[in-house]
Amino acid sequence: MVWLLAISTGLIVANLYYAQTLVGPISAATGLSPEAAGLIVTLTQIGYCLGLLFIVPLGDLIENRRLITTALAFTAVALLVAATAVNSTMFLAAALAIGLGSVAAQILVPFAAHLSKEATRGQTVGKVVSGLLIGIMLARPVASLVADHGGWHVVFGAAAVVVAALAALLRKKLPQRIPVSPLTYPELLASLWHLFVRTPVLRRRAAYHAGLFGSFSLFWTTVPLALAGSELHLSQTGIAIFAIVGIAGAVASPVAGRLADKGFTRPATGVALLFGVVGFVLPLIVTDSRNSALALLVAASIILDMGVAANLVLGQRSIFALGAEVRSRLNGIYFAIFFAGGALGSALGAWMYANHGWKAAMLTGMAFPGLALLYWATEFIQGGVKAYKSAR
């Protein structure tokens, strides 16, 4: 069951990233202007954020298996519309819908927590999140390779078939989970703000991961541009292989889960955030060798991805311990906040690289986990103040 959930989350979340490497051919085929081409990715992200805030909380109200399979059926239709789009309006509407339906992945992760025992919840969540991260990291290179041989229409058509089959499989294999909640849907939505205000652990974990995910998005927005540039001049296939190598960082997820189960969440968080900083130090090392520069970038991608993978699990393990009745809402808030950090990182990375060059982009990326690391250090200050007050 855990492996089924891990593979499912990876296949679902991949739908958000197929278009990122295909913006050029999609905009050319649908008549979208270069200035508006960014809407292809932006609308998918907007749809996802809307789903996190308005659909994922329903996991605390509606029978989960039915909610998941309905969202996947909706996503399959949206992918099919994208595959057959003949104009920009049609494709952009499909992009928004793809993001909206793909939040099924964030209903599955709390589902995994519900099915696991308290003592091993971190390990279970870690395995499922590994699948999610591998889906994110594989989506770009797979889309590039498939599009090179069959065109971008095939990418979305194949994804529609996969998601439809996955909906049928999960309908058959998932157990029912009927939440017990006295709240109506409007009350459920209103409770999101109260949960955010009254849950300091949620605010901290969301801030930590907003920093790391912002740096992750910045890195994977700017690095392909540098790899294709005049100094490294990699082909699209070469860039796809580079992206695949970065998947090695996903091994940190189950390790982080085990550490969290043993009570080492705080130090493990510090290490994860430090990995985020190191991931941007390595590309700044000056070398005259093309191979050395590539090796540093590969190492940086793996270390950064390890930090992101570990911190995501540590964060979800912490917020899932706060109560089964609010897990879906907490997860929706958590993801919405750090996806906002990711959107900021992507936008800043592209702008800094275009206007100030590679070094400025890497320093900007380093600032995201650097600020999160400083915020993490305040945990010790708060702990010292509490200990002092207790002693008095």
pLDDT per residue as tens digits for the range 178-228:
887 777 888 888 888 998 999 999 999 999 999 998 898 888 878 877 887
pLDDT of residue 226: 80
- The CA–CA distances, whole Å, from 133 to 7, 284, 305, 379, 383 equal 10, 26, 9, 27, 33
Q: And the tokens for 41?
A: 């990715």
pLDDT at 384 over 60: no
pLDDT at 289 over 70: yes
Task: Give the separation between CA 207 and CA 279, rounded to whole angstroms.
Answer: 19
pLDDT tens column, 116-136: 777 777 777 777 877 887 888
Task: Please report which confidence band the pLDDT of residue 15 belongs to, taking 50, 70 and 90 as the band edges.
Answer: very high
> How confident is the model at residue 35, as a pLDDT?
59
Q: What is the pTM of this model?
A: 0.79
Backbone angles phi, psi at 363, to 5 degrees: -65, -35
Place of tokens 């954020």: 49
Assigned superfamily of 2-391:
MFS general substrate transporter like domains (1.20.1250.20)
Q: Do 374 and 211 contact (CB within 8 A), yes or no? A: no
Taking the C-alpha atoms of residue 190 and residue 213, their distance in angstroms, rounded to an integer, is 27
Looking up tokens 């594989």 gives 138
Contact between 134 and 247 (Cβ < 8 Å):
yes
Spans of all domains in the chain: 2-391
